[in-house]
Structure 1
């Protein structure tokens, strides 16, 4: 079974760009660079596209970014980045659905087709958005992949919903403005690797911008794998250092054969293979 090469990238929200197209190239060029150097999947952080705010003249910046992405950026990404046997998670962007609902959406290009994941649970400062919706499980090279956005990885009900799905890789694009947020995301992502018996990769937005939503940002690039015997001699926890600005890359080779072997083990405690029982809470 072939391994997967995963590239996790920070994105500096304050990086210079004179036009929306130049800004889009900050992501697109790095996707192509990663793919050309051997990456199978590339992941950018939550709200990577909010740097388009600088080109919006109206008061409603979030709606302006949504319209600019959909009508000025999306088609070019489709043309440039439709490549067989490759995938990319383009962070997240404000997106207006056909029903007129504004969501925080992760656009996913996988083997030439567009997929997406909307953020389900929202932070207090995401009041312009509507949360909710399903977790989409998609297949890449025979492996089951899901995206959960930032706060969603902290919600155990989502992990419980994925139990038994056979998920192989969980990707977590995130944006946090302080070390406590970084810690919450990292600690919960690590727990998901154990609970679900899968690889987990996360990346964070960095840098600063004139924005009510993403003014100051910090985070890390991290990868976690199951704590099972097939991974005994692997690095199972690789949280990386906390970063505050710049474009950084973590390249990781994910052992998918070891993951498959984990699921055939007998006589070993594996929480991902347990059947969730109904639990009563009794107050003493």
Structure 2
């Protein structure tokens, strides 16, 4: 049994320094771990709360502060054996290409991984899109991080079919209830299409940043609608909130996923052929 904590996060912290902000995020993660969570998910743009704490208050400076000044300490504190965390997202400066990415840092035991956002909203014009979906293993399960708008793109789901993904983690940031609904309803569809568990964590609160000035969100988790999951809730959506840290504990049973995939006579879209066998015809 794998224990996952989905956490909303409010970046409008009343702290006076980047290191104090990082300490608050670290405490959120460590509290979940100490309470029994194996893996923790934080929302998209968690670290944009650094913007009013750096000078000049720019995306490039936030990137420099996080990756150059804060991340070494975060690694030393949060690279814990048999624990994992997706630290939301933060700007990353790609010096080789001279572009910014919206990047999710992933700490997996003593390993450091990342995932870049692939599809960008109109107000993310300062960022360049990522090029890859990275799959990784943790406690015998295969994970992918799919950031906010990316979960709304059905082509990405089609590309993941047949890849054996067990869990998709979705850090998200939305300003309105409609944004929350788009992300969560598409996350539910991905759980059905791919036969996997999909967990979502949204940003909440207000921050002195053009990207995340106002945010509403919740935690949500979706399971496949298959017989192996019949006796437990197949989706749990928290209340939509405008501020604060809210946590949802999710228990993932690997044997249920294995049992589902053995049931070849059950109608299950995730087990169908990856290659389409039809054409679109205009009458």
Identify the TM-score tier after normalising by the shorter chain.
over 0.9
Supply the distance in 2 between the matched residues of 1:79 and 1:210 (Cα, whole angstroms): 29
| Range 70-79 or range 251-260, more displaced | 251-260
Encode CA deviations 1:147-182: one digit per residue, 9 max, x unaligned. Answer: 000000000111111100111100000000001100
Match of 2:269 in 1: 271
Supply the distance in 1 between the matched residues of 2:42 and 2:282 (Cα, whole angstroms): 44
Match of 1:80 in 2: 77
Aligned pairs (5 A) from 1:50-89:
50-58=48-56, 61-89=58-86
Supply the distance in 2 between the matched residues of 1:81 and 1:14 (Cα, whole angstroms): 22
Encode CA deviations 1:58-113: one digit per residue, 9 max, x unaligned. Answer: 26x11110010011110001111111111000000000124132100000001111
* Other structure's SS at 2:64 match: helix
Q: CA deviation at 1:139?
A: 0.4
TM-score (norm 2): 0.97
Aligned pairs (5 A) from 1:157-236:
157-236=155-234
Q: CA deviation at 1:278?
A: 4.3
Supply the distance in 1 between the matched residues of 2:241 and 2:186 (Cα, whole angstroms): 19
Supply the distance in 1 between the matched residues of 2:80 and 2:27 (Cα, whole angstroms): 14
Q: Which runs of 5+ in 2 are unaligned?
A: none
Match of 2:38 in 1: 40
Encode CA deviations 1:106-161: one digit per residue, 9 max, x unaligned. Answer: 00001111000000000000000000311000000121000000000000111111
| Range 160-169 or range 271-280, more displaced | 271-280
Match of 1:281 in 2: 280
Q: CA deviation at 1:260?
A: 1.1
Supply the distance in 1 between the matched residues of 2:60 and 2:176 (Cα, whole angstroms): 26
- Whether the 8 Å CA contact 2:2–2:139 is kept in 1: the answer is no
Match of 1:105 in 2: 103
Runs of 4+ in 1 over 3 A off after TM superposition: none
Q: CA deviation at 1:266?
A: 2.7
Supply the distance in 2 between the matched residues of 1:56 and 1:82 (Cα, whole angstroms): 26
Match of 1:21 in 2: 19
Supply the distance in 2 between the matched residues of 1:189 and 1:138 (Cα, whole angstroms): 19
Supply the distance in 2 between the matched residues of 1:26 and 1:40 (Cα, whole angstroms): 19
- Over the aligned positions, Cα root-mean-square deviation in angstroms equals 1.0
Supply the distance in 1 between the matched residues of 2:159 and 2:23 (Cα, whole angstroms): 36
Match of 1:96 in 2: 93
Q: CA deviation at 1:56?
A: 2.1
- Whether the 8 Å CA contact 2:18–2:54 is kept in 1: the answer is no
TM-score (norm 1): 0.97
Supply the distance in 2 between the matched residues of 1:153 and 1:39 (Cα, whole angstroms): 24
